Amino acid sequence: MSESGIGLGKRSEHLYRTLLTRTSWRTHDLVHALDWPQEEVVRAMETLRTEGLASISEGDSTAFRAVEPCIALPALLARWMREGRSPQPRPVEIDRFIALHERAAERVAETPGEGRNRKDTSTVIERMVAKAERELIFLVPGHIEGGYEFSRPLVDTALRRGVRVRAIWASSVFQPPAAMAHAQWLAQQGLPPRTISTTPPRAMILDGSVAVAVDEVEGPRVLRSAQEVEPLLALTERLWERGAAIRQVGRKPGIPTPRRPRTEIVLRLLAEGLTDDAIARRLGCSVRTVRNDVASAMNALDARSRFQAGARAMQVGLI
């Protein structure tokens, strides 16, 4: 049973807050910082990783990092809502936690000059993806354990928000078993990566207007000017047209593409101002079904009206 408003036990939340104070932690450092027995640190870390709030650090399987709250906490709330777990994380507490973290977290900057030695690529990417509106594109030249390109929470966040996701991988990326497993998972979501024989630059493009280019030495560099983004976007479109989905990771015949939970779709349409009748027509279900979904969402989000449910879901990044 959770003991805190964000859906974690008090000790798990304390560990999560501690992880957020640095880019990367090793177990022995956490043992020293928290003054906990190592077994307790390992157990609490496993809980955070299972709940999607922590992961291994990029390229270092012996270290751990916190997944940014703007990605991790809405995903936690969405999962608990789907599973009907109780007590639910409280949206007001999630919103407060994210806001406080954002104000305190000038530890990471979306500029090339700051944080260059912090290995903060995943953090920069997570913060940007949390604001995605239309499309997310990954250019992947190689497999990096713990790399943002292989993060399921990032893809899940984009899909909840109705964002199109594309991935272009160099052919060599598929060789590690972990990369192939991620490719198979993407295919199950109806998003099989396309492969090309050449090696693309390591980059992420967001909504066609901003990008992050990652250099092995310099780290992440955020591109915002049209002079920088448009050539990268044009290259991406050429690679996408030339690329092909790998047969091994395609969906098996007869297995449908998983649909997003209807409640999340209903919340998104509520936030757009659609009526119950309009939502029912859009989804091809009864008005009664929509009203039941709205009532469940209002309860889970502690909302007093359908409008507040949609607004709150959007406010905390659930949709």
pLDDT tens readout for residues 216-237: 888 889 999 999 999 999 999 9
Query: What average pLDDT does the chain have?
Result: 86
Q: What pLDDT score was predicted for residue 248?
A: 61
Compute and round to an integer the Cα radius of gyration of the chain: 20
Neighbours of 288 (CB within 10 A): 10
**What Å distances lie between residue 208 and 170, 196, 204, 232, 256, CA to CA?**
21, 21, 10, 10, 29
> Could you please report the per-residue DSSP string of 222-251?
EE-SHHHHHHHHHHHHHHHHH-EE-GGGSP
Q: What pLDDT score was predicted for residue 253?
A: 52
CA dihedral 113, 116, 118, 121 (to 10 degrees): 100
54 Cβ contact partners less than 8 Å away, ≥ 6 residues apart = 16, 19, 45, 48, 64, 65, 66, 67
Backbone angles phi, psi at 57, to 5 degrees: -70, 150
Average pLDDT per run of 10 along the chain, which is 319 residues long? Answer: 72 94 93 96 94 91 94 89 76 88 62 44 92 95 94 91 94 93 93 93 96 88 95 96 76 54 82 86 88 84 82 80
Q: What pLDDT score was predicted for residue 236?
A: 96
Q: What pLDDT score was predicted for residue 12?
A: 92
Residue 199 CA to residue 149 CA, distance in Å, equals 15
Q: What pLDDT score was predicted for residue 284?
A: 86
| pTM of the model as a whole | 0.82
